[in-house]
Structure 1
């Protein structure tokens, strides 16, 4: 049996992001239905909170959409108060999906043909 390979999340899924006030939501959509169970197992609210630890989210919620092979994460308190309150140049949540898509996940060899993008990552 071959050990799982570590690959970035963007090989398994794509993301869409939005923001409202100090809340960001990030949707993760599997490239292939066969990848969905792996995403549910590995992409937990705790893992996402750790990925965004430097933004100090006050809460991370996950909402599963199994018929779409998708999930939505709602991250509270990650936008420095929101676009109108922050002193940073860009606190829009739209850029946060890129950070999540860099998350490293473990993929069994049998699922490798369902990944998107170049084999080298």
Structure 2
């Protein structure tokens, strides 16, 4: 099997809106965008983060970027959670570790 990770293809920036994590995936080139567009589905992201609420993906091909909205993952968000990462910044790194199968 010919596997790679999101980190091999893109950078990720994370933010939050309440209890919702926002992840911007910024591919390094056109080929990486095409592969991520095929492989990095909302379902794959939901499985990776083990969430049951629907993950929403917004495609921005002219940027290029893929933006994911992952609901109900920040344990109440910045003001509602006493943990160190209420903004979800480390979860951006977690997405970089998601393994993808290289498709031709």
Contact 1:27 1:71 (C-alpha < 8 Å) held by counterparts:
yes
Structure whose residues are more often helix by fraction: 1
1:106 is the counterpart of 2:101: yes
Deviation per CA, 1:65-85: give whole Å up to 9, x if none.
011221100111010011211
Secondary structure at the aligned position of 2:92 is classed as helix
Residue 41 of structure 1 corresponds to 38
Please say which structure displays the higher CA radius of gyration.
1
Which of 14, 20, 24 aligns to 2:21? It is: 24
TM-score normalised by structure 1 residue count: 0.78
Q: Which runs of 5+ in 2 are unaligned?
A: none
> Within 5 A, what are the aligned runs for 1:1-121?
5-53=2-50, 56=51, 58-107=53-102
Q: Which runs of 5+ in 1 are unaligned?
A: 111-121
Residue 118 of structure 1 corresponds to none
CA root-mean-square deviation: 1.7
TM-score normalised by structure 2 residue count: 0.89
Give structure 1 regions of 4+ aligned residues with deviation exceeding 6 angstroms.
none
For this pair of structures, how many residues does the alignment match?
Answer: 104
Secondary structure at the aligned position of 2:55 is classed as strand
Secondary structure at the aligned position of 1:59 is classed as coil
Q: How far did residue 105 of structure 1 move? A: 1.1
